[in-house]
Structures are given as structure tokens and as C-alpha cells.
Amino acid sequence: MTFFTDKLKALRKEKKLTQKELAEQIGIKQNSYSDWETGKNEPNLENIVKLSKILDTSTDELLGRQVNFGDRIIFDISKYDLNNLKNFSEQEIYALKATIVLELLDESTDTLAVKNRLTIKNKLDKDEEIILDALLTEAKVFADEVIAFEKFRKAQRKFKWPWQKDNNNLTTTYSNNNE
């Protein structure tokens, strides 16, 4: 069993769905779904996106991926050719999502602007738009978390405990008076 098959089965059971019910929601036969859980076959990207939505998880979590900016990515989103998005490998999807995160870290950029740029440039069909929407949603969540953490970190640098006279002096009034 791989991480994917274990995770898929666990999330399905967590949602209290049978293989047949989940297969119907995706629009496939139950035996095709069963092949995914047993590792005999793998879903295509379109079905991975459907699974992540039905199971309330991200595609990264479903596939066992964690964001790692050490991966090789293209930093200019306009250089991506998404005309074959449905057939992107897991690595290509991951790199695209990382690039979208970097784009969204510029707080003046929003997901709709990124989607419009990519959709118009690449003439995406409906299925590819669904995949792009899932990638944008997941990238937005991560970018928002990074931005919130950075704001928190900056606020912490300005914070001083009542006993601190400056960042380098941790003596309290009490200890100064009793010397």
C-alpha cells in the first residue's frame, strides 16, 4: 500500500462513504474506484481534484505532498503553458501551485486576477478550469497562512515584555531594586 491508497481509504471511511457511493459522486464505476484503493490503478488529475473536493482535503494532502520550495519551479507564472493541464504530472502540478503561491504572496495580487490571466492565455476548457480552481484555492490558503505568519512575526519583534527596557536588557525592575 502506498500513502495515497491508505489516505484515500481513511478519508472515505472518515466521511462514512462506501466505495460505491464515492465512485458515483466522482462519476466512475465502483470497480475503478476499488482499483485506486488497492493500488492497482491511479486516478487522473481531474479525478484527484474531484476526490479532494468530496473528501474535504487538498490535493497535496491526498497525495502526501508537503510544500517544499526547494523543488524546481518556474517563478514567472506567465511562462507556464497550461494547454495540457489535465495531463500534468504530479511534480508539474506541484510546481505550478508553488508558483501560484509565490504570485499570491504579493498582497496586491488576487486569485481571480491570476485565474483570468492563465485562463485567457491558455484557452482552458471547463475541466482544466476546475483543476486550476482547485490549485488556486489551495495556493490561496497557503499564501494567506504565510502572510499571516509574517505579520505575526513582525508584530512579535515590536513586542516587549513589561520587564524589558529594550530588546537586549531582560532585567526586571524588581531585580534592579534589590541589587
Q: Could you list the pLDDT tens digit for every one of the 179 residues in the chain? A: 478 889 899 999 999 999 999 999 999 999 999 999 999 998 988 888 889 889 988 887 887 776 554 545 556 677 778 888 888 888 888 888 888 888 888 766 788 888 888 888 888 888 888 999 999 999 998 888 888 887 777 777 666 666 666 555 444 444 444 44
Domain limits for position 95: 77-157
43 HSE (CA, 13 A, CB side): 27
What is the predicted pLDDT for the residue at 92? Answer: 85
pLDDT attached to residue 179: 45
pTM, full prediction: 0.52
142 and 88 both lie in a single domain = yes
Backbone phi and psi for residue 169, each to the nearest 5 degrees, phi listed first: -110, 110
CA dist 74 to 27, 46, 99, 100, 131, Å? 34, 23, 6, 10, 19
Question: Domain check: are 59 and 81 in the same one?
Answer: no
Asked if residue 81 lies in contact with residue 99, where contact means CB atoms within 8 angstroms, the answer is no
Among 65, 58, 23, 17, which Cα is nearest to 43's? 23
Residues making up the chain, counted from first to last:
179
Q: State whether 58 and 93 are in the same domain.
A: no
Does residue 178 belong to any structural domain of this protein? no
